[in-house]
């Protein structure tokens, strides 16, 4: 059986989740992939740092060159986040003929076109299922199962932190600042919550979804963005009196003239709408196509195991392509 070697750049929450799943279900995954999957090298800033999973010290290195320049590494998994130096590492991996898996939403939203263009030129794969929706399958369904549809509209709750905050504000009649402090203490919100609370995270994810659904090159500058900072407990109370729930929505729609509208903002949802019932840290995305009608994808939008699951799925798909030219 052929072996596909994997190099990781980064070993935080998502990286640990992916490696744990590769170990836990190794025989099942390799049977489905039709090849062996071996983690060959892991580049981290601090090799001696304690981690939630045990890792063979021989696999760890503080020199990312050991991953990028190793001719035996077939797939590079970038789970370090941010734009720089992640972008340089991803581009170099592709230049060297390696396929890439990433869940870096900001990177793919801002530089996805150039990354995918280079990958096409080099004949390698770039998979990024985990960049939107954590463990929820949405990228591949848009690219494959729904490819026969003209997508009319995508409406999603794609940020678990803001959904948790709005859920607590709704249930307990509390103000945003109070709930945010609790979310930070529980690890649902970062010390600097700007990306979530101000809508940047949802904007990046919407750009990725829209680019795939509408076959367009989307710029983050073209998206209307408004976070939840202006939502107060009294707004939620008034909305409920009228039969509505307030959610932070990411919306993409295409009109009959192929003009695309992209926006992220708090919105009133009728309580009967399926997205109104999506609570806490869960995500959900509704896709409307001319053939399939309306379908909804729902699940945990972040975390070690859900996003790690998406990363493993991307690894397996690329491994099949490498071994059997499955595409």
Active site residues: 205
Kind of pairing, strands 260-270 and 224-225?
Answer: parallel
User: Contact 126/100 with Cβ under 8 angstroms?
Assistant: yes
Neighbours of 326 (CB within 10 A): 11
Beta strands in 143-302 (DSSP E): 151-157, 224-225, 244-254, 260-270, 282-289, 293-300
User: Contact 284/167 with Cβ under 8 angstroms?
Assistant: no
Instruction: Kindly tell me the burial class for residue 38, based on how many C-beta atoms sit within 10 Å of its own C-beta (0-12, 13-18, 19 or more).
Output: middle
In degrees and rounded to multiples of 5, residue 210 shows phi and psi of -65, -40
* Helices and strands counted in the chain (H then E): 12, 12
What residues contact 128, with CB distance under 8 A and at least 6 apart? 101, 102, 103, 104, 108, 112, 139, 208, 314
Neighbours of 313 (CB within 10 A): 21
Cis peptide before 305 (omega within 30 of 0): no
Neighbours of 262 (CB within 10 A): 23
User: Contact 323/30 with Cβ under 8 angstroms?
Assistant: no
* DSSP string for residues in 117-171: HHHHHHT--EE-GGGSSTTS--HHIIIIITTTS-EEEEEEE--HHHHHHHHHHHH
């Amino acid at each position: 059986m052929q072996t596909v070697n994997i190099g990781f750049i980064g070993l935080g929450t998502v990286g640990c989740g992916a490696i744990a799943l590769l170990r836990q279900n190794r025989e099942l995954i390799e049977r489905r992939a039709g090849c062996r999957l071996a983690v060959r090298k892991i580049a981290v800033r601090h090799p001696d740092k304690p981690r939630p999973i045990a890792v063979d010290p021989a696999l760890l290195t503080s020199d990312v060159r050991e991953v990028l320049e190793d001719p035996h590494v077939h797939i590079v998994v970038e789970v370090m986040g941010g734009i720089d130096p992640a972008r340089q590492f991803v581009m170099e991996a592709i230049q060297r003929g390696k396929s890439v898996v990433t869940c870096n939403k900001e990177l793919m939203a801002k530089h996805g076109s150039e990354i995918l263009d280079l990958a096409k030129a080099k004949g390698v794969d770039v998979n990024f299922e985990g960049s939107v929706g954590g463990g929820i399958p949405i990228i591949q369904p848009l690219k494959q199962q729904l490819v026969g549809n003209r997508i009319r509209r995508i409406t999603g709750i794609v940020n678990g932190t803001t959904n948790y905050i709005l859920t607590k504000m709704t249930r307990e009649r509390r103000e945003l600042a109070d709930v945010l402090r609790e979310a930070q203490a529980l690890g649902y919100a970062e010390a600097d919550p700007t990306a979530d609370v101000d809508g940047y995270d949802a904007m990046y994810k919407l750009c990725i979804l829209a680019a795939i659904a509408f076959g367009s090159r989307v710029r983050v500058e073209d998206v209307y963005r408004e976070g939840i900072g202006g939502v107060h407990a009294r707004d939620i109370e008034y909305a409920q009196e009228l039969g509505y729930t307030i959610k932070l929505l990411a919306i993409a729609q295409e009109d009959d003239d192929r003009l695309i509208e992209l926006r992220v903002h708090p919105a009133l949802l009728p309580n009967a709408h399926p997205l109104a019932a999506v609570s806490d840290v869960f995500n959900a995305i509704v896709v409307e196509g001319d053939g399939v009608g309306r379908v909804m994808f729902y699940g945990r939008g972040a975390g070690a195991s859900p996003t790690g699951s998406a990363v493993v799925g991307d690894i397996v798909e690329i491994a099949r392509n490498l071994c059997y030219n499955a595409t």
